[in-house]
Amino acid sequence: MVRTPLTDEERDRGRALGQVLRAARGPRSAAAVAQEAGISLDTLRKIERGAISAPAFFTVAALARVLGLDLDALARDLMPDRRTPLAG
């Protein structure tokens, strides 16, 4: 299966996600957070630096749980506004 290349906007959003997760981790070690979330340390590091721009939903959900982040707020902050004005 061929994957559609990510847009610049999607890559930017991935970097922003990584920054949010890194900030939420604070002084906790990446290894401890990765272990608690059930992901590899390498995966967490790649997400934090934006190398994985579109991590799997359950990976983000696990990290949000461990870091005490609200998934709704995270999505609201990182997703572009896709509402379109009503024709009228």
Residues 6+ apart with CB under 8 A from 14: 6, 47, 50, 52, 53, 54, 55
What is residue 85's predicted lDDT score, i.e. its pLDDT? Answer: 52
Which amino acid belongs to residue 37?
A: A
Q: What is the pLDDT of residues 21-33, one digit of tens each?
A: 999 999 999 999 9
Q: Map out the domains of the chain with their CATH numbers.
A: 10-77 (1.10.260.40)
Q: What is the pLDDT of residues 56-85, one digit of tens each?
A: 999 999 999 999 999 999 999 898 765 545
Question: Helix count (H) and strand count (E) of the chain?
Answer: 5, 0
Q: Which pTM does this prediction carry?
A: 0.84
**Closest by Cα among 46, 51, 71 to 60:** 71
